[in-house]
Amino acid sequence: MNEIKIFCPATIANLNCGFDIMGLCLETIGDKMIIRKSPEKGIKITKITGANLPLETEKNVAGVAALAICKEAINRVSFKHGFEIEIHKKIKAGSGIGSSSASAAGAVFGINELLGKPFSKHELVNFAMKGEVVASGSEHADNVAPCLLGGFTLVRGYNPLDVIRIDAPSEIYAVVLHPNIEVKTSDARAVLHPMISLKDAITQTGNLGGLIAGLYTNDYNLIGRSLNDVLIEPLRKHLIPNFDQVKNAALQNGALGSGISGAGPSIFALCKCQKVAEKVAFAMSESYQNTGIEFDMHISKINPNGVNIIKN
């Protein structure tokens, strides 16, 4: 195989009580990438459509992630060629649904396939994380893990990287409202407090435990009760116009829970079944009409596979 075409899904990180550690993978929205072997050594980004992003390898998360896997792959397989990468963006950069992660995950997945899969999907998370430094200044796995592994993921720790994949209960749907405004991740980080109260830490860990237990036992009510965030949402929600109205609209129309996707500005809701998801999506859009801000809506099942090959 000399060339591979892949679907690189969008992801939702944090999931209210799982700040910086929980994520899930979406099915209906994602980028396409084409990776091919090239006689020239090294990594070259040859084409980007759908977004104005740097073609320079070191400035693009896909390029940096690709360099990271190639550096390590030399120790497992012998190859003398390089790789060319095409990125066809559908996920807007800075949307809060893992735009950069999709590129990082796609690059390492594609190269791993073309090299004959020397690494497991879990191992690939390590390389994709390196690409994230370009986007956010730090190696973090809360979007690249669900993008690569699918389902829900928990990043338990980094030293060494310990990622747990959890199957999604079969009826869960995600709804995402993406307002077309920019919330810089640095601004969303700057509003956070370095210290938290013991009371809030207990509430948050209780909810996180409840979310994990609910996912494992398919207990939708428990998932809903647990989708609360007492630490981050109260400090960040003012960065997203009409956040409270959208969240209330989602909850009043049957969503299990709703919150900020990643660092925002996207707002997500989780719902049991497609019918509820459609009703919730309608209510969320209605509550945003009067803001004058353009927005996109997505409804998606949870993607069980993560990044995958597009067969022609």
Beta strand pairing call for 257-260 and 267-272: antiparallel
Least distance CB 64 / ligand ADP (angstroms): 8
Omega of the bond leading into 265 within 30 degrees of 0 (cis): yes
**Is the Cα dihedral 296, 142, 308, 173 positive or negative?**
negative
132 catalytic per annotation = yes
135 touching ligand ADP, by CB under 6 A: yes
60 is an interface residue for ligand ADP by CB under 6 A = yes
Position 100 contacts ligand ADP (CB under 6 A): yes
Pair 136, 189: CB distance under 8 Å: no
Which of 21, 26, 53, 283 touches ligand ADP by CB under 6 A?
A: 53
Quick one: which segment of 54-62, 112-120, 186-194, 220-228 binds ligand ADP (CB under 6 A)? 54-62
Sign of CA dihedral 126, 131, 132, 133: positive
Instruction: Answer yes or no whether residue 61 interacts with ligand ADP by CB under 6 A.
Output: yes
CB closer to ligand ADP, 283 vs 307:
307
Q: What is the end-to-end Cα distance of the chain in Å, rounded?
A: 14
Should residue 93 be labelled a site residue for ligand ADP when binding is judged by CB under 6 A? yes
- DSSP-derived letter for residue 180 is S
CB 272 within 8 A of CB 178: no
Tokens of 184: 């810089």
Active site residue 185: yes
Contacts of 231 (CB under 8 A, 6+ apart): 19, 196, 200, 204
In the complex, the smallest distance separating the C-beta of residue 205 from ligand ADP, rounded to whole angstroms, is 25
Is-contact 249 287, C-beta < 8 A?
yes
Question: Applying CB under 6 A, which of residues 9, 23, 98, 257 lies at the interface with ligand ADP?
Answer: 98
Cβ closest to ligand ADP, residue 98 vs residue 210? 98
Q: For strand 22-38 and strand 152-158, is the pairing parallel, antiparallel, or unpaired? A: antiparallel
User: x/- contact string, 233-252, with ligand ADP (CB under 6 A)?
Assistant: --------------------
DSSP tag of 89 = -
> Please, what is the minimum distance in Å from the beta carbon of residue 221 to ligand ADP?
30
**Which residue type is seen at 303?**
N
Among 22, 26, 34, 62, the residue binding ligand ADP under the rule CB under 6 A is: 62
Binding site for ligand ADP (CB under 6 A): 53, 60-62, 87, 93-100, 103, 134-136, 143, 185, 262-263
Which residues are identified as catalytic?
Answer: 132, 185
